[in-house]
Chain A
Amino acid sequence: MIIEPFQYFSPQSLDEAFEILSEHHGEAKIIAGGQSLIPLMKMGVEVPCIVDIKKIPGLKAIELSKDGLGNVSSIKVGALVTYNDIEGSNPVKKNLPLLAKTASGIGHPLIRNRGTIGGSLSHCDPAADLCATALALNARICITGPGLKTRSISADEFFKGPLETDLQDDEILTAVEFPVSAMKMGYDVQKLTLGHGDFPVFIVSVSLHNDGKKFTDIAIALGGVGETAVRAGECESLLNGRESITDEDILEVSKMITEKYDPPSSAELSHDYTLDMLAVYTRKALINAVQMVTG
């Protein structure tokens, strides 16, 4: 039960939304699928004003950009695209399989039917599935402000802290753009949860390329081990440029991860265990990713 009263707006255009946002400056929260905001309000977080952006046209598209040779060079996913839409999109499955896999593993079907990519990234929970994968895939966040002024910023710069982003009170996240590579790719996402469908304790999202000679663009993104999702840069550089990656290399990287990052513990899982698991899940993710391009 939400016991505090709140105002509800359902603007039909971005312009109208910005008007409402400026009228209720600092008091308004944007709602899309409501999979984070509504539970918070039920827990007693007071939100005086809700701006529902679901009726604004143009925020639900998955758009492909192509290079001169006709190859897909990037995919722009609208803020209102649901996890379920991502999971079911053929171009996403083909070009950004890590994104599709991540989306398909979020929560339960009911959550995936409503939760949106824009909502997840702007909510910015440090352990959210899509935050880690957005980092692993070098996503850029597309933002529109008053006067329909647009800007874009890397996911890395966008995530500022727990539930804190670079998004200003009068701005709306409108899309997330992912670069696409034609190179052979390997990927995986692994997460520790308390129970099936639960929010991750931590998540490891891995993406890498292989040009036939060597491994490049190694991305190891971690969620739940700090203030925001992070890229394990030093671990990545250990593997970047290698001709081959052995089980021993992966073990070494997994060990290094546990020296640098600290997963949380809970009443049910001790710190010893979650730290142990950080190494295990990182190793599983890396092995699966590497096997995809070598196996």
Chain B
Amino acid sequence: MMEAVLERQHAKSHVSEPRIDARERVMGLAKYTADWHVKDMLYARIFTSTVPHGIVKNIDSSEAAKTPGFVDMVSCLEDSTLWEAGEREHVRRVFADHVRFVGDCIGAVTATTRIAAKKAASLVSVQYEELPASFNIDSTLGNSNLKIWDNGNTIGPLKFEYGDAEEEFRNSQVVMERHYSTSRLHNVPLEPAISLAWWDGDNLTVVAATQSVHGCRNGIAKDLGLLPEKVRVIGYYKGGGFGNKINSMNYDLIAAICSRRTGKPVMVEYSREDEFINVHGRWSTDQDLRIAADRDGRINAVEVKANCDIGAYTRHMKRGHFIEGPEHYYSTEAWNAEIYGVYTNTPATGHMRAPPGPQSAFSVESLVDEMAYELGMDPVEMRFKNYIRHPNSGKFTSNGFEECITRGAEEFGWKQRWKRPEKQNTRRGLVTGVGVAIGSWHSGLGHGEAIVSIDSTGVLEVNTGVVDIGTGAKTTMALIASGEAGIPFSDTRVIWGDTETSPFSVGESGSRTTGFTGTAVREAARQIRSDLLSIGEKVHGISSSKLEIKEGNLIHSGNGNVISSVRELMHASGNGRITKSVTTEPALKEGEERFVFAAHFAEVAVDLETGEVKLTDYLAYHDSGEIVNRLTAESQVQGGIVMGIGMALTEKLLISKTDGSIENPSLLLYRIPNMAQIPKIKVFFTDTIDPYGPKSLGEIPIIPVTAAIGNAIFNATGVRLRNLPFSREELLRELKGKK
């Protein structure tokens, strides 16, 4: 183990490489699913429920069928395929006969053109028997006639506890109790949902915009009753997903079903509006928190009670884990959480970048901040005093939390910039303030597969099942292989994104690609290097222990002289391609926990007359262990923070009070932050070395953002905002109330 650590430390040379496919993407050469044109391809368009809750009684397609170009219609009346991944606790059909929200998919029309499909779909008429419906948490909990699901309208409680919270609340010197709410959000990938499918006999090929080609294949096979090897999923280029293109999606199944019925390749393409309504986003939360602390700043206990609006369906993986994470920020004596998922007749919820992370961090990190001010403490000191050193039992594999907090504060200039809020004397102009928030997130280990080979010309080829949803995974895999094998990055090629040619990968979800698949790539590349050294020994008669491979050359480690290039070596050996196929299954030792950590610092300027908040500075300090590619890692952190800025300041799905439909299903009305609202985001990484290699990174950047901004708003104005997104109107009202 020690040797491995030292070796990695050596490899940590602050590599910063642009994505290997940057050129294709920028020049429009990258072939996204929408760019595929297959002979005789048809287009399908879904038609959906216009009522929030009901049973489909009749479907009239006579008008739709008159549309020039109409080919076929399929609906819940003749197709009862289940979409297993679409709902964890219950059964969800691809085409719902029991519709549960305005927009629930009832069927699809297939036509010769996109326009004909859209037109025909709009002409399908559906009759329903309507049922009582609920559009928010309170009405679900208060309505005994409501049956969104037969066995109850809630999931939970999820209980998470340790220590004796009641005892701590009784004995602590200061107790605070606050309410928080967060809004329903949407992932808003640039590329809306899309899938293209065709059959060759009983073999199905799907060109999918998925985050995992293998997960997609396995899901489709299961739902359509096929053997996985009968399904091929191709996914070369993606326009983002952030969790809403995870594994198999209903539109993949719809494309396959429509293609089977018509005997032609079928593309299902969602509009931006469809994407907002028919693909899941983040659930909202209603949270009551209590915190107990002593006057010296020691946090003793936290209690969280929450209800979460999870829509009509939820894809979230683990039962009830709708608020999760902050129990790993602090070393408290006790923690007590009781969480319910509450169904409503509104669109589905599910994975979105750290699914429960930012909702949970928002409330806890706002409350800890409030406690710091209550106790007269510097908020950074408060975090430093309480941040988690060790898990409740056992130990962390590595922990760079302290460095994140202290070095982050230093780089930000916290000591010089933070001041205790003073009473506002002015009523006009701008006031500024700074805020801090911290967070942690899991960093699992698991199954990885990779095939790495070197050919007779010395070109290294890395074959993995990653899809590169936008994370730079292809580049990361190539860098790991090139660094480990000693072959220049420029001589490294990647094969990816096709179940037919690439070994299994978990794909890009759960911050796992680098840790899971990357570990297999590293091992396969290590074996390649080891083989090259053996060949070197054979060809040049020098013991392999005295040889090294560096930058594509065989080197004498004694004098550093280049003996030959790898290309010449491969040629001299007479060997053809060397291939290493590797499966890795790393696992934590008993009592070990593996986490990533971050501290974020924000500065805002608030207009006292309008309540408008401008984010003027942002700094993030992260421990994600060894960083494989600094450039893409920084981008990933910045991307997560931008999503967090949206959650804090601009984004909210507006749910209709009368039918639960989404009132702002467009980029005009659902506002993601634009460049003018984003300051330069400075990103730093700790020098932490984790014995298991690079730790996770994709999700944690979004976690502390909303609280860091909210805490800065408080520092600027003395007003605590506890509802997301922060509203300038609420801020102004509070500011006026204070005077």
Docked Cα-Cα span, A194 to B118, in Å, equals 31
Interface pair B674/A280, CB less than 8 Å apart: no
Interchain CA distance A81-B115 in the complex, whole Å: 34
Q: Quick one: which of B114, B674, B732 contacts A1, CB cutoff 8 A?
A: B114
Neighbouring B residues of A269 by C-beta, 8 Å: 729
Whether A273 pairs with B114 at a CB distance below 8 angstroms is no
Q: How many Å lie between the Cα of A108 and that of B654 in the bound state?
A: 24
- Contacts between the two chains (Cβ within 8 Å), count: 37
Does B663 interact with chain A (Cβ within 8 Å)?
Answer: yes
In angstroms, Cα B729 to Cα A277, docked, is 10
- Of the four ranges (under 10, 10 to 19, 20 to 34, 35 or more), the interface on chain B belongs to 20 to 34
Contact B663 A267 (CB under 8 A): yes
Nearest-CB distance from B513 to chain A (Å)?
A: 33
Segment with Cβ contacts to B, from A62-70, A133-141, A195-203: A195-203
- Decide yes or no whether B609 CB sits under 8 A from chain A: yes
- The proximity string for A residues 94-129 relative to B, scoring 1 for CB distances below 8 Å and 0 otherwise, is 000000000000001000000000000000000000
**A182 interfacial contact with B, CB 8 Å:** no
Which residue of A1, A108, A270 contacts B729 across the interface (Cβ within 8 Å)? A270
The reply to whether the CB of B271 lies closer than 8 angstroms to some CB of chain A is: yes
Contact status A267-B654, CB under 8 Å = yes
Query: In the complex, what distance in Å separates the CA atom of A60 from the CA atom of B654?
Result: 42
With A1-B271, A197-B676, A280-B610 known as contacts, the answer to whether A273 contacts B729 (CB < 8 A) is: yes
State whether B610 touches A196 (Cβ < 8 A). Answer: no
List the B side residues contacting A284 at CB < 8 Å. Answer: 609
Q: Which residues of B720-738 are within 8 A (CB) of A?
A: 727-729, 732
Residue count of chain A within 8 Å CB distance of chain B:
18
CB atoms of B663 and A197 under 8 A apart: no
Within 8 Å CB of A195, what residues of B? 650, 671, 674, 677
Interface pair A196/B677, CB less than 8 Å apart? yes
Whether the pair A3, B119 counts as a contact (CB closer than 8 A) is: yes
Contact (Cβ within 8 A) B119 A196: no
Q: Select one of B118, B610, B650 contacting A277, CB under 8 A.
A: B610
Which chain B residue shows the least CB distance to A5?
B115
Contact of A3 among B118, B663, B664, B727 (CB under 8 A): B118
**A194, B729: Cα distance in complex, Å:** 11
Docked complex: B8-56 residues within 8 A CB-CB of A:
none
What residue in chain A is nearest B609 (Cβ atoms)?
A280
Give B654's nearest chain A residue, CB to CB: A267
Q: Is the Cβ of A196 less than 8 Å from the Cβ of B676?
A: yes
CB-based contact A3/B732 at 8 Å: no
List CB contacts (< 8 Å) of A252-295 with chain B. Answer: 267-270, 273, 276-277, 280, 284
**Nearest B residue (CB) for A269:** B729
Q: What 0/1 pattern do residues 671 to 688 of B give for CB contact below 8 A with A?
A: 100101100000000000
B732 interface neighbour in A196, A197, A198, A273, Cβ under 8 Å: A273
Which residues of chain A in 181-202 are interfacial with respect to chain B, using CB atoms and an 8 Å cutoff?
A: 192, 194-198
B116-130: CB near A (< 8 Å → 1, else 0) gives: 001100000000000
Give Cα A192 to B611, complex, Å: 12
Measured between C-beta atoms, what is the minimum distance from A288 to chain B in Å? 13
A61 CB to nearest B CB, Å: 31
| CB interface residues, B 643-696, toward A, < 8 Å | 650, 652, 654, 663-664, 668, 671, 674, 676-677
Give Cα A273 to B119, complex, Å.
41
A270 to chain B, nearest CB (A): 6
Q: Of all chain A residues, which has the CB nearest B676?
A: A196
A31 CB to closest chain B CB, in angstroms? 20
Listed by A's residue number, 30 A-B pairs whose Cβ atoms lie within 8 Å are: A1-B114, A1-B115, A1-B118, A1-B271, A3-B115, A3-B119, A108-B674, A194-B671, A195-B671, A195-B674, A195-B677, A196-B674, A196-B677, A197-B674, A197-B676, A198-B668, A198-B671, A267-B663, A268-B652, A268-B654, A268-B727, A269-B729, A270-B729, A273-B729, A273-B732, A276-B732, A277-B610, A280-B609, A280-B610, A284-B609
Nearest 4 CB-CB pairings of A with B: A195-B671, A273-B729, A196-B676, A280-B609
Known: A267-B663, A273-B732. 5 other contacts (CB 8 A): A3-B115, A192-B610, A197-B674, A198-B668, A268-B652
